[in-house]
Amino acid sequence: MAFTTLNPATGAVEAEFEPHTPEQVEERLTRAAETFASYRRTSFAERAGWMRAAADLYDAEQPEIARVLTTEMGKTYGSAKAEVAKCAMCMRWYADRAEALLAVEPVETSAGRAYVRYEPLGPVLAVMPWNFPLWQVIRFAAPALMAGNVGLLKHASNVPQSALLIEDLFRRAGFPEGAFSTLLVPAGAVASIIEDDRVAAVTLTGSEAAGRSVAAAAGRALKKCVLELGGSDPFVVLPSADLDRAVPVAVTARVQNNGQSCIAAKRFIVVDAVRDRFVPRFVEAMAALVVGDPFDPATDVGPLVSRAQRDEVAAQVDDARAKGAVVACGGEPVPGEGWYYRPTVLTGVTPGMRAYDEEVFGPVAVVEPAADVDEAIALANRTSFGLGASVWAEDPAEQQRGIEELEAGMVFVNAMVVSSPELPFGGIKRSGFGRELSEAGIKEFCNAKAVRVA
């Protein structure tokens, strides 16, 4: 099975790579384990120097790197460049703060001296998705490498150029050979790699099915794992919301990354008091978006990543329409080459429709009415997912209810859900467990070693 770059804008094959042989995988696992033995003893200053050098490369080569991201998965060129810049920012954030975040913590004790020290675990396997080919990897790799771990990347099979590019950039930045290695292997090989004694832990960003598989393998091997899975994030518009701010952000929150983001707003829950003012403006703005060539600066929404993904979104919309939902705008693929789907707003969506019960990974918004704040929060929580939530209100009491009562790993007030190094990133319920980014993220793959000196 070759790893293929298939351009979503044209359907053309751009590049193909042969998978690593079992011997090559063995070599990379051995090298990672051997490198960890010495890399863990490097100083924070040494690691920070290499990390800043990597960030400098990302900045210097931003146009070329972004072109790879757009060609492989179809995100607009502007958003691809922003992704590269965000990665460089994250690298510098951890380079500047890792030593303080992992500093020895004194503990008061009745006898002797006690403290907690944070030590790296070893080679960490990252199983990563295609939708943010760079950022998903760097938000794991930057803290893991700064903590003294080494990284092994099994990337999505449709972004091989991105996977190899990341390994090359870390190498050129000066990191020791084996500190970060890409494994071009099929999904079926992941379980055996997790079970390998040289692998200390695993992190996955991906689907619920992939999360179950990785968690099962990690459980059998008794290894730490972090899972960031799907989301069906609510965008809750309450009576005191400022609609002039809420409407444009709602559009961006839904169609960011061509609608293919786990933290994209997907369910727009609008109370009756503002529904007649919010919904028409939202539909009009969604219908006005420009769909087209992701390299064209005028484009708002590029293609979906694959024909299968486009067909899945179309099937979810068609199912809702057939069962009585109203298509307020969009609702169909764009004719011609490439895997484009028109930005869509659905109303009248009810339980039993796929668009209600499933995560829709494309530029499709589901609008749900709510009588009041109580019903809005109940509807927002009526999902098996719990990744992020966005609540819109000017009234402090309404804001506080959203903060306290929405069941999610992240709640953003009067803003769309985003990821940044300062805040822990992750979810609850079937959106996974564990955290990336922030202090919480860098400590996920550390041994919190308790020390007591009598």
Mean pLDDT taken over the chain: 97
pLDDT digits (tens, 9 = 90+) for 289-341: 999 999 999 999 999 999 999 999 999 999 999 999 999 999 999 999 999 99
Taking the alpha carbons of 2, 160, 210, 331 in that order, is the dihedral positive or negative? negative
Contact 426, 273 (CB under 8 A): no
> Cα 428–432–438 angle (5° rounding)?
80
Using CA atoms of 48, 101, 415, 393 in order, give the dihedral in degrees to the nearest 10.
-170
Among the listed residues 228, 359, 436, 444, the single catalytic one is 228
Asked whether the domain spanning 233-420 has the same topology as the one spanning 3-229+431-453, the reply is no
Mean pLDDT, rounded, for 435-449 = 98
Q: Catalytic annotation on 439?
A: no
| 3-state SS class at 101 | helix
Summarize the confidence of residues 130-142 as an average pLDDT.
98
Q: Which helix (H) or strand (E) holds 201?
A: strand 201-205
Q: Residue 1: pLDDT above 80?
A: no
What is the pLDDT averaged over residues 81-109?
Answer: 97
The pLDDT, as a whole number, for residue 365 is: 98
Residue 111 confidence class, pLDDT cut points 50, 70, 90? confident
340-364 confidence digits (pLDDT tens)? 999 999 999 999 999 999 999 999 9
Q: Which two tokens stand for residue 378?
A: 């109940």
- What's the distance, Cα to Cα, between the start and end of the chain in Å? 59
> By C-alpha distance, which of 400, 273, 291, 272 is closest to 338?
291
The pLDDT value recorded for residue 284 is: 98
Percent of the chain with pLDDT over 70: 100
Residue ranges covered by each domain of the chain:
3-229+431-453, 233-420
Q: What is the pLDDT of residue 112?
A: 87
Distance of CA 266 to the CA centre of its chain: 15
List beta partners, residue 237.
Answer: 270, 392
Catalytic residue among 87, 90, 225, 262: 262
CATH class of 3-229+431-453: alpha beta
Q: Which of 3.30.470.20, 3.40.30.10, 3.40.309.10, 3.40.50.360 would CATH assign to domain 233-420? A: 3.40.309.10
**Model confidence, pTM:** 0.97
Q: What is the CA radius of gyration of the chain?
A: 23
Mean pLDDT, rounded, for 368-394: 97
Q: Is 262 a catalytic residue?
A: yes
pLDDT band at 398 (very low <50, low <70, confident <90, very high): very high
Pairing of strands 344-347, 388-392: unpaired
82 contact partners, CB below 8 Å, separation of at least 6 = none
Span 171-211, pLDDT tens digits: 999 999 999 999 999 999 999 999 999 999 999 999 999 99
